[in-house]
Amino acid sequence: MLTNTLLLSQQLPTLQYTSTTERFDETWEAPLATLLGLGRAAGADFIEFFLERVNYISCLAEEDTITSITPRLSTGAGVRVFKGHADCYVSTNDLSFAGLKAALEKGLSILGLQLPAPNALIPEINLELLRDYATKRGKDSWLSLCSSIREMGEILLDGTAQLQRKANHIQSRRATYFRDWQEVLVAASDGTFARDIRLTQSVGFNLLCADGANRTSIGERAGNTSDPNFLKTWDYQESAEHISESAGKMLYADYVESGTYPIIMANHFGGVIFHEACGHLLETTQIERKTSPFADKKGEKIAHESLTALDEGRTEQAFGTIDMDDEGMPAQKTLLIEKGILKNFLADRAGSWRTGHPRTGSGRRQSFTFAAASRMRNTYIAPGEYTTEDLFASVDKGIYCKKMGGGSVGATGQFNFGVDEAYLIENGKITKPLKGAILIGEAKEIMNKISMCSQDLSLAPGFCGSVSGSIYTTVGQPHIKVDSITVGGR
């Protein structure tokens, strides 16, 4: 703590602080409390500091060779300053007291605020006792327990060798892995003072097969938070078998005929459509911009009564799981839609101030160079009351979308998504593989056509880009039936 509870502005240049550079701990309380007090004395309504250290590495195996190993180390901080509903964000790589003070001064000046006069009193902000999620959950040792570079290479090469043995007509085979270790510290003028460590890892295959004019490309990824042994326990043999089987079926598949069909969408990564077509429209970033068709629909029916959806940061080891968000708020579960009724939006601090919706622990950012914004965490459609067999039995002729691919979504929910692996359904049975299917629709319409949800909820890792950069998220759902949707094809 500071020796003085009040400082004169003219004393700031002479202050000396010694903060630990190896980790973010209690030694950061004094300088940050002083800077927060300086910002308040200058007339800001609210100030937040976000400090970050990152140790990242990725590894790529192509065929039987490691072709890329990419490390990245970074350290920095961002300061966000609010005055009324206006705010600005400034980032810096200089974590000295002078460097952080310079970033704060820049933010204040952008909002037209000036440093107080030399004889002005600077109150110390009373920060809470450090909420240290990293130490509480034993995360400080995670980085040292992760796989070495040698282990990364050996496992990925074993994986591509499995693809060579299991797949036919291979044009290219790749295995990729990354490990992203992040330490963060949040201090804000409302007293927030919290630290966490995140460990996010992902590994997967990409397989391209071709035989004459027949071509297919299939990918599969696994993701994890919180387990340093994740790569060592990855079952690459099972993953190689899955992807090789899918590629073999799709290589000679017939092209789908375009039209309107009922579809059964698989669980796991099938949840990407809800994430993209509806989830983003429930973030307060969209509400602020008035681009969401659901902005004034809270408490109203926006989906079929069979659909319940949630967003949370608490599922053990899921890709979007966090103990706290990037504004220091503890993780929680948010009920988005209950039996078709819109219950809540996802709100960060700024979004809450500007829209009136309560904060949901959803303030997230890619790094210290971005201000936090309302973002999804683990977002999924909840299990329903039907069996998967019930869903298929209800379809006379339709399409089973087993593996989703890439796509795009417009600002107000119009979407199109490719399907990497699809099958024709006839009289409730899967009959033949199909390729070239593209699902086309609009969020506010498609949500009312999800009439059946099975009981087999499964989650999948994903990457989400938005105003605060690219972040790690989870998508998911059980098998669902969509009564009708436009399918592009030939």
pLDDT of residue 7: 61
Mean pLDDT of the chain: 94
- Mean pLDDT value across residues 349-358: 96
pLDDT of residue 22: 85
Please give the Cα distance from 24 to 184 (Å, whole number): 7
This prediction has a pTM of 0.94
Please give the Cα distance from 29 to 136 (Å, whole number): 18
Contacts of 67 (CB under 8 A, 6+ apart): 60, 61
pLDDT of residue 277: 87
Residue 230's pLDDT band, with cuts at 50, 70 and 90, is very high
Cα→Cα distances 402→168, 269, 433, 443, Å = 21, 9, 10, 20
pLDDT of residue 120: 77
Please give the Cα distance from 243 to 251 (Å, whole number): 12
The CA dihedral of 95, 96, 99, 100, to the nearest 10 degrees, is 70
Cβ atoms of 253 and 430 closer than 8 Å = no
Tens digit of each residue's pLDDT (9 = 90 or more) over 251-278:
999 999 999 999 999 999 999 999 988 9
| Residue ranges of domains in the chain | 6-56+70-136, 139-186+195-254, 259-488
Closest CA to 182 of 149, 153, 146: 146
| Most confident among 26-35, 187-196, 285-294 (mean pLDDT) | 187-196
pLDDT of residue 1: 35
- Mean pLDDT value across residues 288-292: 91
Q: Across the chain, which distance is largest between two alpha carbons, in Å?
A: 83
pLDDT of residue 15: 67
pLDDT of residue 3: 39
Residue 10's pLDDT band, with cuts at 50, 70 and 90, is low
Tens digit of each residue's pLDDT (9 = 90 or more) over 172-195:
999 999 999 999 999 999 999 999
Specify the CATH number of the domain 139-186+195-254.
3.30.160
Residue 121's pLDDT band, with cuts at 50, 70 and 90, is confident
Please give the Cα distance from 473 to 408 (Å, whole number): 17
pLDDT of residue 13: 66
Please give the Cα distance from 183 to 22 (Å, whole number): 10
Tens digit of each residue's pLDDT (9 = 90 or more) over 292-348:
999 999 999 999 999 999 999 999 999 999 999 999 999 999 999 999 999 999 999
**Residue 2 reports pLDDT greater than 60:** no
Beta pairing partners, 362: none
pLDDT of residue 6: 57
Tens digit of each residue's pLDDT (9 = 90 or more) over 34-74:
999 999 999 999 999 999 999 999 999 999 999 999 999 99
pLDDT of residue 4: 44
